[in-house]
Structure 1
Amino acid sequence: MAGSPIVIAHRGASGERPEHTLLAYQLAIEQGADFIEPDLVPTSDGVLVARHENEISGTTDVAAHPEFASRKTSKQIDGAAVTGWFTEDFTLAELKTLRAKERLPQLRPGNMRYDGQAEIPTLDEIIALAKQASRATGRTIGIYPETKHPSYFAAIGLPLEERLIAALHSAGWDRADAPVFIQSFEVANLKKLKSMTRVPLIQLMSASGGPADGAEPSYAAMAMPAGLARIAGYAAGIGPERTMILPASGPATSLVADAHAAGLKVHPWTFRAENFFLLPAYRTAGGPAEQGRLAEEIAYFIGLGVDGFFSDYPYIGVTARASASASPAHRK
C-alpha cells in the first residue's frame, strides 16, 4: 500500500540473532525488513564497522583474547567515563579475529547459541549484502546507518562523514532517491552531511538529554514546533524515542502531527517484544524476558501516522503493517 510505513531492522533482527552481525541482517531481510540498520564506528585504520558502541566488551569475545588484554582502557565518550576495549584501538584485521556475542543474554538467552558464529561486519560488507538480497528477492533492501559519537571521532582524527559518503558513492547510493537514510543524535555532523550528500538525513532524538555536540539545549526543545522547523532546514525527518510520541502513561503527544506540519518524516525507535521494553499497556503476564503484545503497540503507532519504525523483531513489524494496511480504517 502506498504510504505504508517502512520497517527498519534495528541492528538487524537483533531480537533473534546477536546484533550488528550478518546473521542478524540476513534474517531481517528474510523477514521482510525494508532497511537494515548499521551503527557505524571506525577502526584504527579508518574502516567503518557495525557496532552499537565503540566499546565492544559487551558485544564481542574480546575479553577472552589474552593478546588484547593490554588494550583495555578508560576513556571519556560524550562526557561519560567508559572502560573496556574500543574499536578505534584495533585494526580491521585485529577486529576480524573477534566474534560477536549476544548483548542481552538475560533477556534473550536463546540468542546465545549464536555466540562465536559471526564476525564484526564492515559497512562495505553490509552494503554488499543489501545489494545481493535486493537482486535475489526483487525488492529493494536499503541501509539506515547511524554515525555514532561523530564529535568524539572527529576529535581523535577519525571523522565518520567522509568515510561514510565515500562508501555510499562507491555503491552508487549518493542520490536523493537512494535506498539510504543517514541518522545521528548530533546536529553539526548532520549539517555537514547535508553539504556532502543528497541522501535524506534523520535527526535522532531521545526522551531525555540533548545532542552531545551542544548544538541544541535539549531534545525536548527540538521536539517543539520551532525546533522542528530548524531541523527541517537540514534533515528529512526525525527519529524520536517512541515515548516522545506515546508516554508510558497518558495520551499521545502531538509530535507526529507537529513534525508532519514541518515537512518531516517520523521514524520512532525502538519496538521490542520483551515486557522489559514494552510500554505498560502492551505487557503480558510473566517476567521481563517474556514477550508481550508488540504487534499491538506497533499498530497503535501506525495509527498515529508514523512513516516508519525501528524494531528488533522485523517480522512482527511487517505483520503489524500488513494488518494495518488490510484494516478499512487504514486504507487510502
Structure 2
Amino acid sequence: MNILKNLIIVFLIFIGGCSTTSHSSIKGSGKTENPPIANYTPLIIAHRGASDLEPEHTVLSYKRAIKDKTDFIEIDLRQTKDGELVAIHDKDVERTTNGKGKVQDLTLSQLKKLNAGKDQKIMTIEEIIKEFGLSTNYYIETREDNNGNLVMEQKLIDILNKYKLITKHKVVLQSFSEKSLKKLHSINKNIPLMRLLGDEEVESLTSDTLKNIKKYAYAVGPNAKLVDESFVKKVHAANLKIHVFFDAENERKLTKEMLGLKVDGLFTNNPFYTLDELKQQKTG
C-alpha cells in the first residue's frame, strides 16, 4: 500500500487549518474521474483491528492488523465512570467481555478485571498509543455519552498532542455526531475529520448537506450496502472522500464491488483479505 501517498493527501487537505481545500489543489484540476486501477490506492482501515480474526479492540487484534499491513487501526472510544477513554464499541460490556454493565457506569479498574477474549483486557486509548506509537496510523471514533453529552473531545486531543500524533499526521477522527466533530474542529482545525452517516442520512443525502459537511470534514462514511456509482459521484463532486463501512455479514459480498467503484477507503474486519482483493483487481 502506498501509505505515504494517502497520508500526504490528508495532510495537504488540512494544512494551514483549511479543511475546505478542494481536490483541485491536490490533483491539478477539479475533475473527479476515476484513476487508473494501477494507481488506485484506497485507505485500508482495520475495523476494531483485525476483528474477524482476533477479539476486537485488543492488542492481539491490532497487532494482527498491523502485521497484515493495514493503513490505519480503527478505535471506538467511550468514557468510563472515572473519566478514562477506553476502546470499546458498545454502550455495555456484555457482547465483548465476560462482564455486565454500561461502560460509563463502570470505572477503569472494574473494566480491567474483565476478559475481552483470549485473556485480553480492555485498553485505554493512551495504552494503545503507547503500545504502537508511530508504527501505525490511528482512525478514532468519538461519540456522545449515553445522555447525549460531549465528554471526550478535549481529553482526546490532549492525548493525541502528548504523543505528537497530530503534528506527525498519524490520526483521523470520525463520528456519527456532527456536534462532536464540530467541537473537535473548533479545538484544532488541522485534524482530518470523517463524518459517519447513518442509513437514513445516506438515503436522504443532498448536495447542500455535503456542502455543510465539507465545512468541517474531508470525508464521509456510509454503509457500503447503500453505496452505488451515483452516490460515489455525488460525494466526489462535493470534493469529499468516501470511506465505506460494512455490516459484518455482507463485507465479503460487497468488498469487490466497493473496490470496483474506487471508493477512497474501506473499513475492514480482515485487512489481509481486503488487500488481497485489491491486489487481484490490479492484476486482473
* TM-score normalised according to structure 1 size: 0.69
What is the distance in 1 between the residues matched to 2:121 and 2:187? Answer: 31
From 52, 63, 72, the equivalent of 1:26 is 63
| CA deviation profile, 1:130-161 (whole Å, cap 9, x unmatched) | 326x2xxxxxx211111133573626xxx110
How far 1:51 sits from its partner (Å)? 0.6
1:40 aligned residue? 77
1:230 is aligned to: 212
Residues 143 and 180 in structure 2, CA contact (< 8 A), matched pair in contact too: no
Residue type of the alignment partner of 1:143? Y
Q: Which residue does 2:98 correspond to in 1?
A: 61
* SS of 1:53 mapped into structure 2: coil
1:311 matched to 2:283 = no
In the alignment, is the contact (CA less than 8 A) between 2:207 and 2:234 conserved in 1?
yes
What are the Cα deviations for residues 36-84 of structure 1, in whole angstroms up to 9, with x where unaligned? 1110001112110011113111111114xxxxxxxxxxxxxxxxxxxxx
Aligned to 1:145: 140
Matches within 5 A, 1:159-178: 159-175=151-167, 178=169
After TM superposition, the score normalised by the length of structure 2 is: 0.80
Structure 2: how far apart are the matches of 1:271 and 1:298?
Answer: 11
Q: Match of 2:282?
A: 325
Partner of 1:287: none
**Counterpart contact for 1:53–1:148, Cα < 8 Å:** no
State whether residues 267 and 309 of structure 1, in contact with CA within 8 Å, keep that contact through their aligned partners in structure 2.
yes
2:187 partner SS:
coil
Q: Distance in 2 between matches of 1:166 and 1:235?
A: 20
1:195 deviates by: 1.2
CA distance in 2, matches of 1:269, 1:235: 17
8 Å contact kept, 2:72–2:137: yes
Aligned to 1:192: 183
Q: Post-superposition shift, 1:237?
A: 0.4
SS of corresponding position for 1:191: helix
Match of 2:114 in 1: 98
| TM superposition shift of 1:123 | 0.3
> CA distance change for structure 1 residues 121 and 92 in 2, over 3 Å: closer, same or farther?
same
Q: Distance in 1 between matches of 2:195 and 2:145?
A: 13
Q: Do structure 1's residue 10 and structure 2's residue 47 form an aligned pair? A: yes
Structure 1 contact 271–309 (Cα < 8 Å) conserved? no
Alpha-carbon offset, residue 174 of structure 1: 2.2
User: Which amino acid in 2 is paired with 1:19?
Assistant: E
Counterpart for residue 125 of structure 2: 123
Task: Report the Cα distance in structure 2 between the residues aligned to 1:323 and 1:120, rounded to whole angstroms.
Answer: 36
Instruction: Name the CA distance, whole Å, in 1 between partners of 2:158 and 2:278.
Output: 34
1:119 Cα deviation after fit: 0.1
Q: CA deviation at 1:94?
A: 1.8
| DSSP-derived class of the 2:195 partner | strand
Aligned residues: CA RMSD: 2.0
The equivalent position to 1:278 in structure 2, one of 236, 244, 250, is 250
Alignment of 1:232-311 (within 5 A): 232-245=214-227, 252-270=228-246, 272=248, 277-278=249-250, 294=252, 297-311=254-268
Post-superposition Cα deviations, 1:260-305, rounded to whole Å, max 9, x if no partner, equal 1111111000264xxxx127xxxxxxxxxxxxxx2x7323212212
CA contact (8 A) 2:144 2:180 kept: no
Segments of structure 2 that go 5 or more residues without pairing to the other structure are 3-38
| 1:200-219 matches, cutoff 5 A | 200-208=192-200, 218-219=201-202
Inter-CA distance 319–271: structure 2 relative to 1 (3 Å threshold): farther
**CA contact 1:271–1:310 (8 Å) conserved in 2:** no
Aligned with 2:171: secondary structure?
Answer: coil
Q: Output the CA distance in 2 between the equivalents of 1:152 and 1:323.
A: 46
From the two aligned structures, give the one with the greater helix fraction: 2
Greater RCO, 1 or 2 (C-alpha within 8 Å, sep 6+): 2
Q: Which amino acid aligns with 2:203?
A: A
What's the CA shift for 1:319? 1.1
Look up the equivalent residue of 2:224 and give its one-letter code. R
SS of alignment partner, residue 61 of structure 1: coil
| Structure of higher CA gyration radius | 1
**Distance in 1 (alpha carbons) for counterparts of 2:106 and 2:213:** 35
**Distance in 2 of aligned mates of 1:41 and 1:127:** 16
Where 1:44 maps in the other structure, the secondary structure is coil
Task: Give 1:182's aligned residue.
Answer: 173
How many pairs align? Answer: 246
- SS of the equivalent of 1:131 reads helix
Per-residue deviation, residues 74-98 of structure 1 (Å, max 9, x unmatched): xxxxxxxxxxx11122221221111
Question: Is the Cα contact below 8 Å between 2:225 and 2:246 reproduced in 1?
Answer: no
